[in-house]
Amino acid sequence: MDKILRINMGPGGEPAYKTEPIGDFAGLGGRGLTSAIVSKEVPPTCHALGEENKLVIAPGLLGGTTGAMTGRVSVGCKSPLTGGIKEANAGGQPAQMIARLGYAAVVLEGKPAEDKSYKIRISADGVEITSDPGLKMKGNYDVVDQMKQEYGDKIACISIGQAGEMKLSSATVAFTNMEQRPARHAARGGIGAVMGSKGVKVIVIDDSGTSMRSAKDPEKFKTANRAFVAGLKKHPVTGEGLPAYGTNVLTNVVNEAGGYPTFNFKTGRFAGAASISGETQAEMMKSRGGQVTHGCHRGCVIRCSGIWHDKDGHYLTKQPEYETVWAHGGNCGIDDLDVIATLDRLDDDYGIDTIEMGATIGVAMDAGLAEFGDGEAAINLVKEVGKGTPLGRILGSGAAVTGKVFGVERVPVVKNQAMPAYDPRAVQGIGVTYATSPMGADHTAGYSVTANLLGVGGTVDPLAPAGQIELSRNLQYATAVIDSVGMCLFVAFATLDQPETFQAMIDMVNSFHGLALTADDVVGLGKKVTKMERDFNARAGFTKNDDRLPDYFKKEALEPHNVTFSVTDEELDSVFQDL
């Protein structure tokens, strides 16, 4: 994994590619590599859909290995949604396969002069770039089916749906899972629109003839990996809760804590939460022949994914995750898991961020376009996006645009990106992360729910400002490292509580790459990545005033605790004072 594949889509002649050594980017992977390339090579003030922007797809430092939990992929660019730097990541099979082909990153550059849909095949034999008009305006599921017919069933696909082709700022990039379904998405920030602007509909990865990457010290790597897996399996969250109920195990937890945003962030509890909880979801999946415990990529030992069957026992979509269940469920007053699963399937097929779309529908309901709780209306609104109607294009542009068009004051966004499933008034640490992350409102950037609600890595009172700055800061640095290694965010539960598991993760990186990183070095990597991202945003015109929550979170008290977000602006400005 010592080379970068650059694919220039134009203008000027036919698309072309070249392979080059990783060079100055050596030692970086995943988010660290995507952010480094974007920060160095993309003009911060360029138009996100213009030829100067780049889409960088990078497996982590341990991608393509036998290491557990190492199959995540980062996708980076300048975001058409936030206007700043963006990294979104996903599971699925492509990351491991790209790494086994020897690529640290695949970079899409330029912009075609003509409106064509291209498919790209990357294999050990080289790269093929072909125009295919038959792919235009197809959904992700049809695109993947066509690629399997053309290239066989040993491939993996990276694709966009209709939303990406229309360059909507809620558009995602889909990655196929182990069943070759486009159900894993690098979803946030409109990155699918950037892929669409490059004219690329699908990238087919074929790693036939390759093998697993070899560690510098195989025995030490195996030992570290075994210790790491043991730590994950003995932790109650990663070893019990997530495998049993998936990420949606959080619905009852967050609802009981009074931090579950309901009716477009008007209250912190949803009366219908039990009907859409992880426990209820698991029972329904079992009764229909679905799969409750499932890995989103090979090498996953937490296995919090799943497969959802409809009422007739047929595959419909992946198990809707907590964020999706909240966004299309409680946030919109919908307590029907079948409706939520239908919305999830539509989002995945069209290529739409479920968080952004659920938040957008909540804003649309506030505007009177539909009633809270009306599942059929929600489905119809998402279908408008897929059809590309004027209303659909407004909704597909995200919650901030929808709020402006329909005159809604209460729009839960930071840097134009919609907030996920934790109200910052009842989970104040996540409010700090929403406000200050370079990515816009993003729970995964610094998941303070750990200490705020779950008692993982210590405890910090979720309703008070004390301790939230340090908590968010430390988690943002740690997350940048996890994203760079190519691991799932959920490994943080065990590494925060078990020093030996954290050390095992470091030992995996050291033994594989022949390094001698310490814990301080790991923190240093997190700071380095964060500093690059903040520097890009500063050059793009962002100031400390962009690191703020909407005013109403400071003014409107949230039931049932009747609290407001009470971390001061001065405190928010101190989050990254050590950079």
Helix (H) or strand (E) holding 192: helix 191-197
* Tally of CB atoms within 10 A around 369: 17
CA distances from 328 to 291, 343, 357, 471, 497 (A): 21, 7, 8, 29, 32
DSSP annotation of 171? B
Q: What is the mean pLDDT of each run of 10 residues along the chain (579 residues)?
A: 94 90 95 98 98 98 95 97 97 96 97 94 96 97 98 96 98 96 97 98 97 96 97 94 90 97 98 97 93 82 90 95 97 98 98 98 98 98 98 98 98 98 98 98 96 96 98 97 94 95 96 95 96 98 98 97 98 96
pTM: 0.97
| CATH class name, domain 215-245+424-579 | mainly alpha
- Would you state the structure tokens that stand for residue 230, as one six-digit string? 């043991």
Q: Give me the pLDDT at residue 11, please.
A: 85
Q: How far from 66 is each of 26, 70, 231, 341, 541, CA to CA, in Å?
A: 21, 8, 17, 33, 42
Q: Do the domains spanning 3-206 and 215-245+424-579 agree at the CATH topology level?
A: no
Q: What is the pLDDT of residue 304?
A: 84
Class of domain 260-407: mainly alpha
The correct answer on CATH 3.60.9.10 for the domain covering 3-206 is yes
Write down the pLDDT at residue 295.
82
3-state secondary structure 193-254: HHHHHCCEEEEEEECCCCCCCCCCCHHHHHHHHHHHHHHHHHCHHHHHHHHHHCHHHHHHHH
Taking alpha carbons only, the member of 420, 207, 237 closest to residue 323 is: 420
What distance in Å separates the CA atoms of residue 379 and residue 396, rounded to the nearest whole number?
13
**Residue at token pair 């909240």:** 326
Q: What pLDDT score was predicted for residue 293?
A: 81
Residue 173 contacts residue 56 (beta carbons within 8 Å)? no
The DSSP element (H or E) to which 524 belongs, if any, is helix 519-539
In the chain, domain spans: 3-206, 215-245+424-579, 260-407
- DSSP structure string for 74-113: EEEEE-TTTSSEEEEEE-SSHHHHHHHTTEEEEEEES--S
Longest dimension (CA), the chain: 62
- What residues have CB less than 8 Å from 562, skipping those under 6 apart? none
The answer to whether residues 453 and 462 touch, using CB atoms and an 8 Å cutoff, is yes
Q: Which tokens in the block code for residue 233?
A: 């399996």
Sign of CA dihedral 471, 327, 181, 118: negative
Beta bridge partners of 414: 417
DSSP 333-386: T---HHHHHHHHHHHHHHTB-HHHHHHHHHHHHHTTSS-TT-HHHHHHHHHHHH
Sheet with 3-8: strands ordered across: 16-21, 3-8, 103-109, 55-59, 73-78, 85-90
Q: What is the pLDDT of residue 124?
A: 95
**Which residues fall within 8 angstroms of residue 555, CB to CB, at 6 or more apart?**
564
Q: How many CA atoms lie within 13 A of 484 on its CB side?
A: 27
The structure tokens listed for 185 are 């998405």
